[in-house]
Amino acid sequence: MTDNPQESKSAGPQQSDGKKKRRFYYRSRYRKKYSDSVSKSSFIKKISIVIPFLNEEDSLRPLTIEIKKVISAIRNVEYEIIFIDDGSNDRSVEVINNLKKDDKNLKLIQFQKNYGKSAALSIGFKHATGDVIVTMDADLQDDPREIPNLIKKIEEGFDLVSGWKKVRFDPFIKRTTSRFFNFVTSKMTGIKIHDFNCGLKMYRKEVVERIKVYGEMHRYLPVLAHWNGFKVGEIVVQHHPRRYGKTKFGASRFIKGFLDLITILFTTRYLKRPLHFFGTIGVLLFLAGFLIDLWLVYEWAFQQTYLTNRPMLWLGILLILLGVQTITIGLVGEMIAHNSQTHEDYTIKSIKL
Q: Domain for residue 3, yes or no?
A: no
Q: Is the same domain home to 198 and 87?
A: yes
What pLDDT sits at residue 83? Answer: 96
* Backbone angles phi and psi of 122, in degrees to 5: -60, -45
Q: Domain for residue 177, yes or no?
A: yes
CA–CA separation, 11 and 69 (whole Å): 13
Q: Is the same domain home to 87 and 206?
A: yes
Q: 243, 269, 295: which is the final residue of a domain?
A: 269
Q: Is the same domain home to 259 and 331?
A: no
What pLDDT sits at residue 264? Answer: 75
Domain that holds residue 307: 274-339
How far lies 324's CA from each of 313, 321, 327, 328, 332, in Å? 17, 5, 5, 6, 12
Q: Domain for residue 58, yes or no?
A: yes
pLDDT along the chain (353 residues), means of 10: 41 43 50 52 89 93 94 90 94 94 94 91 94 94 94 94 87 79 84 89 94 81 89 93 71 70 75 82 95 90 79 92 93 78 58 59
What total number of domains does the chain contain?
2
Q: Is the same domain home to 126 and 259?
A: yes
What sections of the chain are H helices per DSSP? 60-72, 92-100, 117-127, 147-154, 172-189, 205-210, 221-227, 251-269, 274-302, 311-340
What pLDDT sits at residue 7? Answer: 41
Q: 3-state class of 201 per DSSP?
A: strand
Q: 3-state class of 196 per DSSP?
A: coil
Q: Is the same domain home to 114 and 207?
A: yes
What pLDDT sits at residue 303? Answer: 78
Contacts of 102 (CB under 8 A, 6+ apart): none
What CATH number is given to the structural domain containing 109? Answer: 3.90.550.10
Q: Domain for residue 176, yes or no?
A: yes
What pLDDT sits at residue 343? Answer: 54
CB-based burial label for 34 (10 Å; 0-12, 13-18, 19+): middle
Q: 3-state class of 239 per DSSP?
A: strand
Closest by CA to 195, choosing from 158, 142, 266, 151, is: 142
What pLDDT sits at residue 254? Answer: 66
Q: Is the same domain home to 201 and 282?
A: no
Closest by CA to 221, choosing from 317, 99, 322, 134, is: 134
Q: Is the same domain home to 139 and 287?
A: no
CB-based burial label for 253 (10 Å; 0-12, 13-18, 19+): middle
Q: Is the same domain home to 233 and 261?
A: yes
What pLDDT sits at residue 169? Answer: 77
Q: Is the same domain home to 72 and 166?
A: yes
CB-based burial label for 302 (10 Å; 0-12, 13-18, 19+): exposed
The pTM (predicted TM-score) of the whole model is 0.72
